[in-house]
Structures are given as structure tokens and as C-alpha cells.
């Protein structure tokens, strides 16, 4: 009995506790690893396989994954075959037992097209200005022509052949990019990978979010966060200064402080409800009646938009800024304030010349934390102004340049919408992974900056006090 008790106390229980740390780290690591491999791996030019089945059918495409059959008798493999305009499907399941032959021909191409998604097959010929090229010459012509502007590309007519033997004529103007991944060596693949990542970051979504990039969502997120910081910083700092420097430090102040602190724990969706009820329906509705009456009943400010989303998130992140700034203010020794006042400074001068400069890093930390929180927050935005696909950017060359009433796209909501309401979720999933990775990276980098800043600040203060 004593032996068991000893074993439990010295071995089992502490190691169980250690196990929970290990498990948490493992889960975090697994999540990040999953996002990294799936998010970045999607852009890698995958090998294309041509499979001949026992039945004589030919399937060509990218092998996506293997799954065991339900009755455990073997497995089947999912291929991305493209060519949706020809056989009405982009995916094909193939039982691995039914495969007779596999090959990776070097001239198997993958074309990214503006309509119907990808084409996978062979290039038969290219016709330009009456000349006809075949074989390797054709492929060289296509590669050269793809660097031309779209208007000039219309002269090129491609004759394509699917692995099943159908032929298809297509103008080069509808082709965005072409690659022969089986013929690429490592350097070329790296290059293609880089340009695909860049395309993801710099372009708008295409083909029902299954292609293209997320630039409008990145831009919308950034703009919303910037407008939010412009609102939240002065007010948060003002409230913190009031609480810490001006208000009489009594039970009431303490109560308010606890209240503010607790607001950081209130669910974000509640802020969304407040934003919808007060900003959108209340203030926005009144603004519409006063200034945009001729546009009614279609609302201008009386519907979700950039301004209301930023305001809502500003309210949501206000406690973060207040708490961080107050922490910084409280760390400044009273001797500094007394010294300034003793030398004849008024309170304003004391605040602006002595206290605030010393508290700047703390304020900055607060704002960065607020931005990190706002960038990852989606739930309240669903109520106050995010859009699946915003037709117009909220910032453009038209007066007054910044259109606060417009809806905008947001990375987090884009992720949610693509993954759960998309047409072909299967095809969109790789891009969702990439979006999730991007979002996590942004938030983590912001948080790391705040942590490092705070660490730096503490060390600095430590040597001063």
C-alpha cells in the first residue's frame, strides 16, 4: 500500500501534470504544423499522374489523398482532374486496385483558366497569325505569349487534348497561367511556388473562392483595424489618464476599474449586438433620415459598414488599451510627477512632458494587443458590416476616397464563408488553409511584438526604479 502511495505521489501524479503540459504543446504544434503544411503546400506545383484503369479508362490529375474503403478491402484515391467544362466534374475517386498503369508524362499540362477552372491535358497545337506550331515549339510559343498583355493574347488559339482523347479549342486570352509540373526541376518549382504565393497575397478571389487570392480581404482587415486604432487610441488613453491621474482614488474608481477590466471578458458577440442596435439601426438610421433621405429606403449608413465595424471593434478593444495604459502609468514612480510639479509645471505640462513619454511603450503595447484582438475577431463583424464579396473597395480614387459606409471583406469572415458556404468546398479548402495560416501569422506576429515590447519596457523600468 505504502509502495503504491509512494509511486503515485512521486511518479504518477506529477508526470500526469507534466503530461498535460506536453499534450497542450502537442496540440498547439499539431495545429500550427497542419496549417503550415496544408497552407503552404497547396502552392507547390504537384506532380500530375496519368492513370490507366483496368477498364481501359484514362484519368489524369493530381492525386489528393487516399482513403480506406468502408469495408476495409482496399483503398481508393481522390484525383483532381479539372476539365469541368468537358465532363462536368472536377474530382474523381479511383479504387487503387483498379489501376492498371500509372505514368507521369512530362508534357502533361495544367492550365489555369478564367472560366471553368483548371484544365489538365496535353497541348496539341498553337495557331497564331495563320502559323501553326506543334510539339515543343507550341509549348515555347505559349510560354512566351503568356507574358503578353491579355488583349494581344487573343490572337493565339490553342488546340488542347484531354487525356481521354477529346479535343478542345481555346483562346489564350482565357488562360491565366500554364505549367508542366512533371517537367519542372526544383528551382523552377520554387519559382512557381513563390509566384503562386504572391498571387494569393495580391489578387482578388476568382471562381467562387476556389482560385485567386485574398488581397481584398487583407486590405479590408487592415483598413478596418487602422480606422479602429485611430478611434480607440485617443479614447483609451484619455480614459486611462483620467482613471489613473485625475480621478479621486476612492472606492468608486476601484469599482469602475473592475468594471472596465471585466468588459474585456464580455463575449464579442454582445458587442456586435450593441453595434447593430446602437450604431447601425440607431445612429446610422438617423443619419440616413437627416442627410441621405433621397436614397431611402435603400440605406446608406443604416446598414453595416466599415465605420460601424471599426467603432464596434474599438469599443470591444477599449478595455485592452485602458488596462495596458493604466499599467504603464501605475509603474511610473510618483517621485517623477512630484518632481515635475515641484519645478513649477502645471498638471498638463507634467502629463505631456513627463508622464506620457514614459508611458508610451505601454500605450503602444495596448494598441498592438488591441489590433491583434480585432484582427482575429469575426463574430461581431457578422452583425455590423462584413461582406462575402465586396464589389467596391472602401478606399478608392473617388471623392471622398475613404468610403466609411461601404461594406468590406475580412480575412476571418472570408475564411468562414469559403469553408462553410462555398460551392465547391473541396476545391476551396487549400485556399482556406492558406487564409487561416495568414490570419494566424498576422495575429501571432502582432502578439509577439507586444510581448517583446512589454518585456523590453519592464527591463528598462527595472533598472530605473
Region 296-355 residues binding another protein, contact defined as CB under 8 A: 315, 318-319, 322, 344, 346-349, 351
Only one of the segments 102-110, 208-216, 332-340, 447-455 lies at the binding site for another protein (rule: CB under 8 A); that segment is: 447-455
Q: Which three cell numbers stand for residue 68?
A: 480506406
The answer to whether 190 contacts another protein (rule: CB under 8 A) is: no
The answer to whether 148 contacts another protein (rule: CB under 8 A) is: no
What phi and psi values does residue 53 have, to the nearest 5 degrees? Answer: -90, 165
Position among 91, 447, 453, 461 found at the interface with another protein (CB under 8 A): 447
Residue closer to another protein (CB basis): 14 or 74: 14
Position among 69, 103, 190, 247 found at the interface with another protein (CB under 8 A): 247
Residue closer to another protein (CB basis): 270 or 402: 270
Q: C-beta of 45: minimal distance to another protein in Å?
A: 24
CA 164 to chain centre: 38
Residue closer to another protein (CB basis): 246 or 293: 246
Q: What DSSP designation does 47 have?
A: P
What phi and psi values does residue 49 have, to the nearest 5 degrees? Answer: -115, 140
Q: C-beta of 419: minimal distance to another protein in Å?
A: 5
Backbone conformation region of residue 83, classed left if phi is above 0, alpha if psi is from -120 to 50, else beta? left
Q: C-beta of 145: minimal distance to another protein in Å?
A: 39
Contact string (CB under 8 A) for another protein, positions 363-402, x = contact: ---------x--xxxxx--xx-------------------
Q: Which residues pair with 126 in a beta bridge?
A: 133, 158
Q: C-beta of 334: minimal distance to another protein in Å?
A: 18
Contact string (CB under 8 A) for another protein, positions 7-26, x = contact: x-xxxxxxxxxxxxxxxxxx
The answer to whether 114 contacts another protein (rule: CB under 8 A) is: no
The answer to whether 458 contacts another protein (rule: CB under 8 A) is: no
The answer to whether 239 contacts another protein (rule: CB under 8 A) is: yes
List the one residue out of 270, 266, 367, 272 whose CA is nearest residue 312.
272
Q: What angle is formed at CA 277 by the lines to CA 273 and CA 283, rounded to 5 degrees?
A: 140
Residue closer to another protein (CB basis): 241 or 363: 241
Task: Give the separation between CA 417 and CA 388, rounded to whole angstroms.
Answer: 7
312 within 8 A of 273, measured Cβ to Cβ: no
Q: C-beta of 389: minimal distance to another protein in Å?
A: 16
Residue closer to another protein (CB basis): 49 or 209: 209
The answer to whether 269 contacts another protein (rule: CB under 8 A) is: yes
Only one of the segments 1-9, 81-89, 160-168, 203-211 lies at the binding site for another protein (rule: CB under 8 A); that segment is: 1-9
Q: What angle is formed at CA 232 by the lines to CA 377 and CA 308, rounded to 5 degrees?
A: 60
Integer angstrom CA distances of residue 178 from 108, 121, 139, 244, 270: 11, 11, 9, 62, 48
List the one residue out of 23, 30, 25, 42 whose CA is nearest residue 438.
42
In sequence order, what DSSP letters do the residues of 185-204 get, joined into one string? Answer: -HHHHHHHHHHHHHHHHHS-
The answer to whether 281 contacts another protein (rule: CB under 8 A) is: yes
Residue closer to another protein (CB basis): 98 or 278: 278
Q: What angle is formed at CA 297 by the lines to CA 294 and CA 298, rounded to 5 degrees?
A: 90
Residue closer to another protein (CB basis): 52 or 303: 303
Residue closer to another protein (CB basis): 126 or 432: 432
Q: C-beta of 187: minimal distance to another protein in Å?
A: 33
Residue closer to another protein (CB basis): 132 or 261: 261
What phi and psi values does residue 105 have, to the nearest 5 degrees? Answer: -60, 140
Q: What is the dihedral of CA 272, 274, 276, 277, to 10 degrees?
A: 160
Task: Give the separation between CA 406 and CA 414, rounded to whole angstroms.
Answer: 17
Residue closer to another protein (CB basis): 175 or 232: 232
Q: C-beta of 364: minimal distance to another protein in Å?
A: 17
The answer to whether 420 contacts another protein (rule: CB under 8 A) is: yes
Amino acid at each position: 500500500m505504502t509502495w503504491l502511495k509512494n509511486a503515485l505521489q512521486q511518479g504518477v501524479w506529477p508526470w500526469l501534470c507534466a503530461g498535460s503540459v506536453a499534450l497542450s504543446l502537442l496540440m498547439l504544434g499539431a495545429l500550427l504544423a497542419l496549417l503550415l503544411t496544408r497552407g503552404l503546400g497547396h502552392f507547390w506545383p504537384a506532380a500530375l499522374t496519368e492513370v490507366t484503369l483496368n477498364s481501359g479508362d484514362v484519368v489524369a490529375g493530381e492525386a489528393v489523398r487516399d482513403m480506406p474503403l468502408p469495408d476495409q478491402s482496399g483503398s481508393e484515391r481522390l484525383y483532381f482532374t479539372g476539365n469541368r467544362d468537358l465532363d462536368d466534374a472536377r474530382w474523381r475517386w479511383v479504387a487503387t486496385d483498379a489501376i492498371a498503369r500509372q505514368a507521369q508524362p512530362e508534357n502533361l499540362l495544367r492550365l489555369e483558366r478564367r472560366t471553368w477552372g483548371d484544365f489538365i491535358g496535353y497541348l496539341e497545337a498553337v495557331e497564331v497569325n495563320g502559323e501553326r506550331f506543334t510539339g515543343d515549339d507550341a509549348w515555347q510559343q505559349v510560354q512566351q505569349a503568356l507574358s503578353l498583355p491579355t488583349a494581344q493574347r487573343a490572337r493565339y488559339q490553342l488546340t488542347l487534348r484531354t487525356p481521354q482523347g477529346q479535343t478542345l479549342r481555346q483562346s489564350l486570352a482565357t488562360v491565366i497561367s500554364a505549367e508542366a509540373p512533371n517537367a519542372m526541376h526544383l528551382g523552377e518549382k520554387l519559382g512557381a511556388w513563390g509566384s503562386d504565393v504572391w498571387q494569393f497575397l495580391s489578387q482578388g478571389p476568382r471562381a467562387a473562392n476556389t482560385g485567386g487570392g485574398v488581397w481584398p480581404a487583407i486590405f479590408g482587415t487592415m483598413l478596418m483595424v487602422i480606422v479602429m486604432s485611430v478611434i480607440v487610441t485617443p479614447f483609451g488613453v484619455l480614459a486611462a489618464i483620467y482613471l489613473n491621474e485625475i480621478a479621486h482614488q476612492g472606492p468608486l474608481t476601484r469599482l469602475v476599474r473592475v468594471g472596465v477590466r471585466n468588459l474585456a471578458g464580455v463575449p464579442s458577440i454582445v458587442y456586435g449586438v450593441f453595434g447593430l442596435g446602437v450604431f447601425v439601426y440607431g445612429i446610422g438610421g438617423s443619419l440616413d433620415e437627416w442627410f441621405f433621405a433621397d436614397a431611402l429606403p435603400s440605406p446608406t449608413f443604416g446598414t453595416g459598414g466599415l465605420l460601424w465595424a471599426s467603432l464596434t471593434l474599438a469599443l470591444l478593444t477599449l478595455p485592452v488599451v485602458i488596462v495596458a495604459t493604466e499599467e504603464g502609468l501605475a509603474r511610473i514612480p510618483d517621485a517623477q510627477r512630484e518632481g515635475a510639479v515641484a519645478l513649477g509645471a502645471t498638471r498638463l505640462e507634467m502629463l505631456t512632458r513627463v508622464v506620457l513619454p514614459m508611458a508610451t511603450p505601454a500605450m503602444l503595447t495596448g494598441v498592438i494587443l488591441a489590433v491583434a484582438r480585432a484582427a482575429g475577431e469575426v463574430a461581431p463583424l457578422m452583425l455590423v458590416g462584413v461582406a462575402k464579396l465586396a464589389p467596391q473597395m472602401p478606399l478608392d480614387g473617388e471623392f471622398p476616397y475613404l468610403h466609411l459606409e461601404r461594406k468590406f471583406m475580412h480575412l476571418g469572415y472570408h475564411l468562414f464563408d469559403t469553408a462553410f458556404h462555398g460551392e465547391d468546398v473541396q476545391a476551396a479548402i487549400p485556399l482556406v488553409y492558406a487564409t487561416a495560416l495568414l490570419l494566424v501569422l498576422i495575429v501571432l506576429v502582432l502578439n509577439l511584438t507586444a510581448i517583446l515590447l512589454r518585456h523590453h519596457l519592464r527591463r528598462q523600468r527595472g533598472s530605473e526604479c
